[in-house]
Chain A
Amino acid sequence: MGAIGDFIHSIPVDLLIIQTINGIVTGMILALVASGLTLIFGIMDVVNFAHGELFMLGAYMGVIAFATTGNFWLALVLAALIIGIFGAALQILTLRPLIGRDPLNTILATFGISLVLQNYALWQFGPVARKISEPISAEFTLFYLQYPWYRIVIALLSGAIIGSLWLFLKYNKFGVWIRATTQDRVMAQAMGIPVPWVYTGVFALGAAMAAASGVLFAPFGGVDSSMGLQWVLEAFIVVVVGGMGNLGGSVVAAIFISLLEAYAAVWLNPSQAVIASFVVLILTLLFRPTGLFAAPK
């Protein structure tokens, strides 16, 4: 069959390999964003529409911290800390009063928060995109490209952060508190666990992770007030496909979806490549609504 042969010959293998690496890198950042989202949902039953804005504000904090300190890694830590504290304040002011009410209220509240934060960023920082220079400018040769080492570092660092989170949840005292609260909020309280503060802590943790992702992404993606919107949509898809509340599932789903989009970008233009993620979501919802990679429990 000549047509198939032609098609196979036309597949640009080197481009595919490059896209595989790109897909994994983007996937790891997406995984970091989605982990915070799935954590917040799994533990607090809150659909955090504002998560993309926390990512975006984290990136802006990173820009400011970098301009002040000149050190990328310090800026990363500072941005995560500041947005983590901000997230805690946000949760205490707007979400705590809504505990126990219809979940529709929290969806709308976080949506309102995302509108406010997005417009605030536009107003405060202006429409011109900012940039942070890469902390590691070394590159290696990949086929015909000079591929930046920094991107590999991002992927590894994201993985390290997610891994630390998993270890924290499994072994640390607060991790046990969090897991107990997720399973039985009432009995967790009866055991002396201060559940309202567990919720605040989880939200702060999710916010800090989103902020860290934003800073990590900034050097190669730029920083502007609308970056949150694009990422939050993808993050939600990842969370649903991976299984809500399933940390491992969202990592796998993030990489899977990013790879698909990266491959699609070979043949389609980038704004259309995003349809790949939509297709995966629809298929998941039709056939395995609890999540493609959800562990059977």
Chain B
Amino acid sequence: MTSTPLDKTAPLGKTRLSHTAAFWLAFWAVMAALIVAPLVLPEFWSGFLTEVLIWGLLAMSSDLLIGYTGIVSFGHSAFFGLGMYGAAAALLLVKPANLWLAILFGLGGAAVAALCVAYFSTRLRDIYFAITTLIFSQIFYVIIFTWTAVTGGENGLIFHQPHFTIPFLVNVPFNSHSMHWFVLAVVAGSYLILRCVTQSPFGMVLQSIRENEARTRAIGYPVERYKIVSVMLSGLFAGLAGVLYAVQKEFAAPDFVYFLTSGEAVIYNLIGGVGTLVGPIVGAGFFQLARQLLSQWFGDQFPYLIPLGILFIVMIIFLPQGLLGFARRWLNR
């Protein structure tokens, strides 16, 4: 009887160690592949991969809200859009165009939107909140679309890509390779930060809110404050994705602020697997790849959203855990 407790701790220690080891092994393996990719792939696919990473970041930010806090939000187009236009503002207004300023402005814009959404998140429940965030994206869309003098209206804004600068050390223009590595660094860094957050005590409280908000509040946690922080974080990372997009593509357009962009982020999230952080990136990749392949096989006019949309619906019914969730169960992790 007394030997059993001792026996129990040893295997537990081993499993915890090997789990962390397995994670870092997998992480660096994937990173290695992604770092090498632009050197090996043709130009088109390299740029494609960069874009997937950006959409993945957007979807990941959405996952923090949906997968971990249990809040459905369609507001990510607003965060993404403001990040995009914020960066555009910095790159157009301040000469010489500065990368870090663009990031700062973009995050600032996204933060403003996130504050408004965060306020509503504490006062409205589920469906009302979801609809409000949708309307919110539309408000920004209408403003951006019609305020042509400032935002370029329908045509959006065009600007030049800034150099990659570290003060006093480096000042080089991007090429498609270095842009890819920059985006990869930002997205990977964001992923690690978000992973840290979701596995921290803070993250545990978020998940408890998702499971049972009333009980979490009854235990004594200031649920409102947690929600606000969650929305702010989500908004900031979504805005960061917008900044990256603007910097990579050198333009900002109102289309991305239309609420459908939020919808797509949620779709990537679900296809990949909610509540996994990595899932959304996988989902974004899967979706974009499918879309690319469909248009290559069937032509540009092919309505790729019809089969993809049907797949999405089928997945909701039969595989709500997403691709990653399915894989996880299959591997019996």
Direct interface between A and B, CB < 8 A:
yes
Tell me which of B142, B267, B316 contacts A271 (CB under 8 A): B142
Q: Does B87 touch A at the CB level, under 8 Å?
A: no
Tell me if B303 and A122 are in contact (CB < 8 A).
yes
Tell me if A285 and B128 are in contact (CB < 8 A).
yes
Complex Cα–Cα for A152 and B139 (A):
31
Tell me if A47 and B127 are in contact (CB < 8 A).
yes
Residues of B contacting A: mostly:
helix
Q: How far is the CB of A39 from chain B (nearest CB, A)?
A: 15
Complex Cα–Cα for A103 and B135 (A):
19
Q: Chain B, 295-333, contact with A by CB distance < 8 Å: what is the 0/1 string?
A: 000000101011001101100110010000000000000
Tell me which of A47, A105, A236, A275 contacts B139 (CB under 8 A): A275
Tell me if B142 and A108 are in contact (CB < 8 A).
no
Q: How far is the CB of A109 from chain B (nearest CB, A)?
A: 5
Tell me if A112 and B128 are in contact (CB < 8 A).
no
Tell me if A116 and B127 are in contact (CB < 8 A).
no
Complex Cα–Cα for A46 and B142 (A):
28
Q: How far is the CB of A270 from chain B (nearest CB, A)?
A: 10
Complex Cα–Cα for A258 and B20 (A):
58
Q: Does B47 touch A at the CB level, under 8 Å?
A: no
Complex Cα–Cα for A269 and B146 (A):
9
Binds A, one of B26-34, B118-126, B158-166: B118-126
Q: Does B54 touch A at the CB level, under 8 Å?
A: no
- Across the A-B interface, give the 3 residue pairs with the lowest CB-CB distance, nearest first: A116-B309, A123-B303, A119-B305
Binding site for B on A (CB under 8 A): 47, 94, 97-98, 101, 103-105, 107-109, 111-113, 115-116, 119-120, 122-123, 233, 236-237, 240, 244, 269, 271-272, 274-275, 278, 281-282, 285-286, 289
Which residues in B have their C-beta under 8 angstroms from that of A47? 127, 130-131
Q: How far is the CB of A89 from chain B (nearest CB, A)?
A: 14
Tell me if B317 and A289 are in contact (CB < 8 A).
no
Which residues in B have their C-beta under 8 angstroms from that of A286? 123
- The residue on A at minimum CB distance from B311 is A112
Complex Cα–Cα for A286 and B138 (A):
18
Interface centre among A116, A233, A278, A289 (most CB of B within 10 A): A116
Tell me which of A111, A244, A281, A289 contacts B135 (CB under 8 A): A281
Complex Cα–Cα for A155 and B139 (A):
28
Tell me which of B120, B135, B267 contacts A112 (CB under 8 A): B267
Tell me if A115 and B263 are in contact (CB < 8 A).
yes
Q: Does B68 touch A at the CB level, under 8 Å?
A: no
Which residues in A have their C-beta under 8 angstroms from that of B303? 119-120, 122-123
Tell me if A112 and B306 are in contact (CB < 8 A).
no
- The residue on B at minimum CB distance from A105 is B316
Given A119-B303, A278-B138, A281-B132, verify A108-B316 contact (CB < 8 Å).
yes
Given A103-B126, A285-B123, verify A278-B305 contact (CB < 8 Å).
no
Q: Does B238 touch A at the CB level, under 8 Å?
A: no
Q: Does B103 touch A at the CB level, under 8 Å?
A: no
Which residues in B have their C-beta under 8 angstroms from that of A104? 66, 72, 126
Interface centre among B126, B131, B138 (most CB of A within 10 A): B131
Tell me if B146 and A98 are in contact (CB < 8 A).
no
Tell me if A115 and B142 are in contact (CB < 8 A).
no
Tell me if B317 and A94 are in contact (CB < 8 A).
yes
Q: Does B270 touch A at the CB level, under 8 Å?
A: yes
Complex Cα–Cα for A259 and B117 (A):
28
Tell me if B128 and A240 are in contact (CB < 8 A).
yes
Tell me if B313 and A107 are in contact (CB < 8 A).
no
Tell me if A233 and B135 are in contact (CB < 8 A).
yes
Given A237-B135, A275-B139, A281-B135, verify A112-B127 contact (CB < 8 Å).
no
Which residues in B have their C-beta under 8 angstroms from that of A244? 127
Could you list 18 A-B pairs, sorted by A, with CB under 8 Å?
Answer: A47-B131, A94-B313, A103-B127, A108-B267, A108-B270, A109-B313, A109-B317, A111-B266, A112-B312, A113-B313, A115-B312, A116-B306, A119-B303, A123-B303, A236-B135, A275-B139, A278-B138, A282-B132
Complex Cα–Cα for A208 and B134 (A):
25
Which residues in A have their C-beta under 8 angstroms from that of B312? 108, 112, 115
Complex Cα–Cα for A285 and B127 (A):
12
Interface centre among B135, B145, B310 (most CB of A within 10 A): B135
Which residues in B have their C-beta under 8 angstroms from that of A109? 313, 316-317
Tell me if A116 and B124 are in contact (CB < 8 A).
no
Complex Cα–Cα for A120 and B304 (A):
10
Which residues in B have their C-beta under 8 angstroms from that of A271? 142, 145-146
Complex Cα–Cα for A269 and B142 (A):
12
Complex Cα–Cα for A202 and B72 (A):
25
Tell me if B317 and A278 are in contact (CB < 8 A).
no
Complex Cα–Cα for A94 and B126 (A):
21
Tell me if A119 and B138 are in contact (CB < 8 A).
no
